[in-house]
Amino acid sequence: MQPMLNIAVKAARAAGQVIVRHAGRIDALNVKNKRPNDYVSEVDHLAEREIIRVIHRAYPDHAILAEESGVQGANDYQWIIDPLDGTTNFLHDFPQFAVSIALRHRGRLDQAVVYDPMKEELFSASRGAGATLNNRRIRVTTLKDLNGALLGTGIPFREDQDLDAYLRGLRAMLPGTAGVRRAGSAALDLAYVAAGRLDGFWEYGLNVWDMAAGVLLVQEAGGLVGDPRGGADALSSGDVVAAGPKLFKAMVQRLAAG
């Protein structure tokens, strides 16, 4: 395993231990609203500190971009961290959440880990070396169009999000598909696209830490990632479409028509 990916795996597993340890006593947690319907718990902070501790023990000069603590340092290597993607699920004891860690080198995604501590599923990727789930190679599906496709999405839940635009997109995407799932963790949704569990995924208004690791997973599993308007840089826009190459084009066309 690539050394920096190995550190990402160690950090994700350490954070996962923190999350699992607190999962049985959710009622005792200190929870705050960052904004309406957007929660942060003490577990988010504890898991994030554990990730940064593991990374900085190995690479003390590397920069950090983390959801809860923000930007730390400046370096060609920057770790992008979401310590608990799916906090609302976690707080409701809904077992669909994950640790997401990506490493960006000179602006280019290089390593990725998405770890589901409840199912003990570790998705990982290194640029140019493919993507794996628990050390088994994974690939996106090869659907050519939306007929029979199972899609994932995220439904707007904050006041600053455009629900009407999402509903137009949903009406455009649904015909002919096998259905749409909204599970509540973009990092896992993207990992599921990489593993072929979902054929495609789209969402608006994500942060870079929500999707950085998932983007590399999909790319290394043979898929395409872009924004719904056909642009290549979903990380900058915050709006993302991910699927196998042919389905990706079909999804972008449907969203544009909607």
Helix runs in 150-244, H state only: 163-173, 186-195, 208-220, 234-237
Q: Which residue has the tokens 């896992």?
A: 188
What DSSP letter does each residue of 166-181 carry, written as one string? HHHHHHHH-TTSSEEE
116 is in an annotated binding site: no
210 is in an annotated binding site: yes
Mapping DSSP onto H, E and C, the string for 2-21 reads CHHHHHHHHHHHHHHHHHHH
85 is in an annotated binding site: yes
84 is in an annotated binding site: yes
Neighbours of 132 (CB within 10 A): 20
Cα end-to-end distance, the chain, whole Å: 43
Q: Which of 179, 175, 162 is nearest to 253 (CA)?
A: 175
Binding positions: 67, 82, 84-85, 210
Binding positions for Mg(2+): 67, 82, 84-85, 210
